[in-house]
Amino acid sequence: MCGADRLFLVKPANYRGGLSSDSFVITDSNYGVTGAIHRCPECGFLQCPELPEITGFYEQLEQEAYECGRAQRSLQSRRILERVRSYRRGGRLLDIGAGSGMLVEQALEMGYQAEGVEPSRWLQGKAVERGLPVYLGTFPHPQCQVPYEVVTLIDVIEHVLRPLELLRAIRQVLLPDGVLAVVTPDVRSLAARLLGWRWWHFRVAHVGYFDKSTLELAARRSQFVLVSFRRSGWFFSGDYLWERAWKLAGLRQRPAPRLLRSVTVPLNLRDSLLAILRPARVE
C-alpha cells in the first residue's frame, strides 16, 4: 500500500485443501479461516500476497443464501445511497461488484442513472432476470458508459489483490466533482481487536484488511481526497443472526424460532467504514 519492499507474516494460512468458488461465498461463516496474512512494517496494512489470482473463483460463484437476504441488503444499499445523495443527488452511477443488482435497483428508484458490473455469472444473471443493467465481468469494463458522477465500491476493495490499481482506474472514469463511496471492514475496530483472529471479517475471501489510516493512504496514493468517514450499519434477518450467534459461540446450533424469519434487525457493530472520496485536484 505504501510502496515498502518487505512484509512480515503475522498469520499462516489455515484453510484446508485447495481453494474453490465455495471458499469465496458472500455469506461465509468460517470466521478466522484465511490465507497467509502479512503486515507491512511501514504502514501496517494487512494483506494476503501469496494467494493466486482469485477472479476465476468469483466468476463461478453461486449462492442462493445471498439472494435470500435481498430485502435486508437492499435496505443497507438504500442507507448508503442516502449518505451519497448528500454529496451528489443525481447523475450517472456505477456500482462495482454489483452482485445481483440490489444497490443498482435502489439507485434507479432514487433517480440515479445507475448500472453495475459483476464477475459472478450466476449473480449477474439474477440481476438481468430483474431487468437491471448489470454487466458481466470486472472493472474496467467496455460496456460501462463513462464518465460517472458517482461510483460505489461496497464491500469490494477487501477482495481485491491490487486495490491501488482499482482505485486509480476509478479515478479515470469519475468526473472532477464526482463522488466515490467505499465501504470496507475496519481491522482496527473494537470488535476486531476484541475477537482477534476470530473476527467475522477474517475469511479467505478477504485479501486486504483496511483501517482508517490505510484506506486514507490508499485514497491519497490514488489521487483521491477523503471527504468523510462514518461507521456503516447493516440489516439482518432474525434467523440469520440466530445462526451466526451459535456459530460464533462455538455451540451446536438450535433451530431458529419461526418468528425470527420475518424480523429485520438493524445492527451497527461499528466495525465497517463508509468513506466518501472525491478526486484530488491535479495542479
pLDDT in tens, the chain (283 residues): 999 989 999 999 999 888 999 999 988 888 999 999 999 999 999 999 999 889 999 999 998 888 888 999 999 999 999 999 999 999 999 999 999 999 999 999 999 999 999 999 999 999 999 999 999 999 999 999 889 999 999 999 999 999 999 999 999 999 999 999 999 999 999 999 999 999 999 999 999 999 999 999 999 999 999 999 999 998 888 888 888 887 777 777 788 787 887 889 888 999 999 999 999 987 6
Backbone angles phi, psi at 260, to 5 degrees: -65, -25
Does some domain include residue 164?
yes
Backbone angles phi, psi at 116, to 5 degrees: -145, 170
**CA Rg value for the chain:** 18
Beta pairing class for 264-267 and 234-237:
antiparallel
CA atoms within 13 A on the CB side of 146: 12
Does some domain include residue 61?
yes
Q: Specify the DSSP element, H or E, that contains 248.
A: helix 238-249
Does some domain include residue 27?
yes
Beta pairing class for 92-96 and 113-118:
parallel
d(CA 201, CA 139): 24
CATH at residue 226: 3.40.50.150
For residue 163, give the nearest of 108, 113, 206 by alpha carbon. 206
Does some domain include residue 262?
no
Can you point out the beta strands (E) in 63-120? 92-96, 113-118
Does some domain include residue 90?
yes
d(CA 180, CA 225): 10
Does some domain include residue 241?
no
Does some domain include residue 239?
no
**Domains: count for the chain:** 1
For residue 99, give the nearest of 124, 130, 62, 74 by alpha carbon. 124
d(CA 116, CA 193): 34
Domain extent, residue 217, equals 8-233+268-279
